[in-house]
Amino acid sequence: MGLQHDYPWVKAPIIIGAPMRLISLAPLAVAVSRAGGLGFIGAGTEVQDLQAHLQEASRLIRDTPIVGSAANILPIGVGFINWGADLDTTVRNIGKYRPAAVWFFAPYNNADLVQWTRKIRNATQGDTKIWVQVGSVRDAVEVAGLCRPDVIVAQGSDTGGHGLERGAGIISLLPEIADALKHEGFEDISIVAAGGIVEGRGVAACLVLGSEGVVMGTRFLASTEATIATGYQRAVVRANDGGISTVRSKVYDTLRGTTGWPERIGGRGIINQSFLDAEDGKVTKENMEAHTEALEKGDAGWGENGRLTTYAGTGLGLVDRIQPAAAIIEEIRRQVIDIELQTSNRQSKI
């Protein structure tokens, strides 16, 4: 049916807040949806806190309802890192609070998602839509056949945080996934784009490539509603030239102790002293100790000369200030409208 049918409160172009673990919680998710987008809580692997996050989101929406949303559906989504999240706890809470969507990412095997999909659809009678994030054409086709999700999230290699260590940028990945799904008879599955998109030009490009909506994570790191340390947020706003200043690596996961990720996945973050001190990608005892000491420094622990992990995508050089989520979305919508007018004017002169 399409995103605007399933989520009637959204406005075009549809901006989706990525489910950033520990950062995109109820305040940010609700703010994005309230601005006409679709916000996601980043439950990640910590589903023991899921009920509290969903309770907070329910309260925020109950206090000020989102126009156009159904009374029996929570107008936000929830994202899960499937290799570490507990299915039973997840199903119990999703069935109770009935968010509009769930987002699956990083199972050890794509076949693991079959049970997740079936149980959540049964728990909500299909009201909660299934989104699956992939970074390759092969995974998109396989997931479509296994789960028949409502939405495929095509994640390009420019994305911040975790993604495939080897993959294509969104410019080539998105249309190839669309063509492959159509060829296999899955053209009814919606596709949204993710990876390196932070402002109107990137949004407009993805819409032309066939995306129904656009996911943003890095841009919302610089939102007032993000649950994020000030030092982390400042590091994102100050950085530029993201293709050079960020790197995808397993170093940051090793330092943080989050080492359960599938082998083919790494995390993109701002290059800092922790990464530079890693020898051939290996974290030494001295590096680990220095990272632990940096945790005690508060906001001073982040930055180019700091040691704390700053996950962000290559588009961070286009993020230069901190704003409310609604202001970010409104600015992007104006930019897209301006681009469409400019394109129309150029075409009329041909």
Among 209, 180, 187, 181, smallest CA distance to 197 is for 209
Cβ–Cβ contacts within 10 Å for residue 258, how many? 18
**Quick one: pLDDT band at residue 282, thresholds 50, 70, 90?**
confident
Q: What is the pLDDT of residues 56-90, one digit of tens each?
A: 999 999 999 999 999 899 999 999 999 999 999 99
* Predicted confidence (pLDDT) at residue 280 exceeds the cutoff of 80: no
Taking the C-alpha atoms of residue 53 and residue 78, their distance in angstroms, rounded to an integer, is 10
Q: Give the neighbor-by-neighbor strand order of the sheet with 265-270.
A: 161-164, 265-270, 246-249
Looking at residues 268-294, what average pLDDT do you find?
91
* Residues pairing with 40 in the sheet: 77
**Quick one: pLDDT band at residue 337, thresholds 50, 70, 90?**
very high
**Quick one: pLDDT band at residue 345, thresholds 50, 70, 90?**
confident
Q: Where are the beta strands (DSSP E) in the chain?
A: 14-17, 38-44, 74-81, 99-105, 129-134, 151-155, 161-164, 190-194, 213-216, 246-249, 265-270
Percentage of the chain beyond pLDDT 70 is: 99
H or E element in which residue 216 lies: strand 213-216
Please give the single-letter amino acid code of residue 215: V
Q: What tokens were used for 299?
A: 């906001």
What is the model's pLDDT at position 281? 78
Considering the chain, what is the average pLDDT of its residues? 96
Tell the residue number behind the tokens 């596709």, with chain if given.
191
Taking the C-alpha atoms of residue 290 and residue 306, their distance in angstroms, rounded to an integer, is 10
Taking the C-alpha atoms of residue 325 and residue 30, their distance in angstroms, rounded to an integer, is 10
What is the model's pLDDT at position 350? 64
Measured on CA atoms in the order 61, 66, 46, 310, is the torsion positive or negative?
negative
Residue 51 and residue 57 in contact, taking contact as beta carbons nearer than 8 Å:
no
- Alpha-carbon Rg of the chain, whole angstroms? 19
Looking at residues 13-23, what average pLDDT do you find?
97
Looking at residues 161-176, what average pLDDT do you find?
97
What is the model's pLDDT at position 43? 97
The better pLDDT of the pair 55, 349 is held by 55
What is the model's pLDDT at position 1? 67
What is the model's pLDDT at position 279? 74
Percentage of the chain beyond pLDDT 90 is: 93
Among 92, 180, 103, smallest CA distance to 144 is for 180
* Predicted confidence (pLDDT) at residue 321 exceeds the cutoff of 70: yes
